[in-house]
Amino acid sequence: MRLLPCGDRAILVELPDASARRRLDEVLSRTAIPGIVEHVPAARTVLVTVTGPAALVEVSRALRCLDLSAEVMAAASDDQVVEIPVRYDGPDLGSVATHLGVSTDEVVARHTEQVWRVEFAGFTPGFGYLLGDRGGLTVPRLTVPRTRVPAGAVALADEWSGVYPRASSGGWQLIGTTDLAMWDAHRQSPARLTPGRLVRFTSLASGSSVAAASEDADATESRGRS
């Protein structure tokens, strides 16, 4: 790992790949290191904030001593997996299928038949960058981003999938819609998709209510936390 100072209260840890970043994120989540306030994962980096300038040296030394050689993440049980019901009606579904050389049904199948992990969050509150365990859905971003993407849009870009938590501009390819709220300031944990969470997308049958399926997903998640 490479440690870079970020002011006098943070250290940016650069890792060689996403797997190493994932292991560091997990180790920091399970290990109490004096002087660390919090850590924020990204694609291949982790920002570690500390209590003050005096803690930088000791925290840096502790980070260098961490063992990241083993896979440390335990498999999640079914009640820890966030299920997101989707109506696959996105305006870019057809162009995604054309780019991949498959049918739109195959795009939906690839999206729903794999488990996605929230690798990190960013861009806007509640937006998680999801990486699938099977791949097969790598597509380019739009050449010209949209000025407005609606809340609940389910999208693809590069190897990632994501759900827009609020209306915003965006350059990802839109393949579907969900009414399951990704961000709610009134929830105990406002962000539904936090780093490390596992996600399954489910396809709504024709005529099904997106809102009703979303309520069922909320109830299932609540049982999982209890």
11: enclosing H helix or E strand: strand 10-14
What is the tens place of the pLDDT at every residue in 109-159? 999 999 999 999 988 999 999 999 999 999 999 999 999 999 999 999 999
Cβ atoms of residues 110 and 99 within 8 Å: no
pLDDT of residue 209: 56
Q: Which two tokens stand for residue 6?
A: 């970020």
Tens digits of residue pLDDT in 5-39: 999 999 999 999 888 998 999 899 889 999 999 99
Per residue in 159-168, pLDDT (tens digit) is 999 999 999 9
Taken as a whole, the chain contains a residue count of 226
pLDDT at position 69 over 70: yes
